[in-house]
Structure formats: C-alpha cells, structure tokens
Amino acid sequence: MANPQGFLDLLNSFKGLIDEEKIAASSFKYIRPTLADPTFTKDQIMGKSSAAGGLCDWIINITAYYDVVVTVEPKKLAVAEAKAQLAAANEKKAVVDALVADLNAKLQVLLDAYQKAMDEKNNAMA
C-alpha cells in the first residue's frame, strides 16, 4: 500500500461522508451479499490477517451505521416537521385563546348589565 495513512484517513472520514450523504446507497447494496456470508466475520478473517480482520470489522460497523442513519434520518426530519407544525398550531391556539378570553369578558359585561337591569326591574315591581 503506497499511502497507509491516507487509507486510514479515508476510513476515518467515511462516517462524515455518510452523514453528508456523499456515499451512494448502491455502495452499501453491493456489500450486502458479502455481509450475508457466514464466514465474513472479524474472527474468521482475523485468523488469516489481523489487518483484514480489522477492515472486516470496520465494514460491518460502517454498514450498520449507514443502516441506522438511513432509518433514523427520515424520522428526525419528520420530528422536526411535526415540531414546526406544533409550534404553528400553538401560535394559532394562543390567538384563539386570547380572542375567546376577550369575548368571554365582553359577554360577562353584558350578562352583568342584564342581571342589573333585571334586578332593578324586579325591585321596581316590588
């Protein structure tokens, strides 16, 4: 290998590339048959080469990370959208609550005036 440090840097940066959606989904599609092979395990490969065993472990783990990101990211976006909708609904509710409170106050003034008028009428009749 001409540049081992460059290779390690690439492996270490791969998670960020997944997070930034710079890795095509097809890249993980092609590794699935290999991952399904029961002999493709860290322990099996480690018996042949410790470096290959480490790379096997990395492949298994980065694929698992990709699967989580693909599953969780849409849910995060849905939660963010739901929170935005909730905030908008709460703003509308606050406006409606204020309007209802104002109308209830005005209604109470009218009810009080009506009750006062009825009391005066009843006192005048008595």
Mean pLDDT of all residues in the chain?
A: 93
Q: Is the pLDDT of residue 126 over 80?
A: no
The model's pTM = 0.63
Q: What is the pLDDT of residues 14-70, one digit of tens each?
A: 999 999 989 998 999 999 999 999 999 999 999 999 999 999 999 999 999 999 999
DSSP string, 13-56: HHHHHHHTT-S-HHHHHHHHHHHHSTT-SHHHHHTT-HHHHHHH
- Contacts of residue 62, defined as CB under 8 A and 6 or more positions apart, other chains included, come to 14, 15, 18
Question: What domain range is 34 assigned to?
Answer: 4-125
Q: What is the pLDDT of residues 17-29, one digit of tens each?
A: 999 989 998 999 9
Q: What is the number of structural domains in the chain? A: 1
Task: Report the percent of the chain where pLDDT is more than 90.
Answer: 77
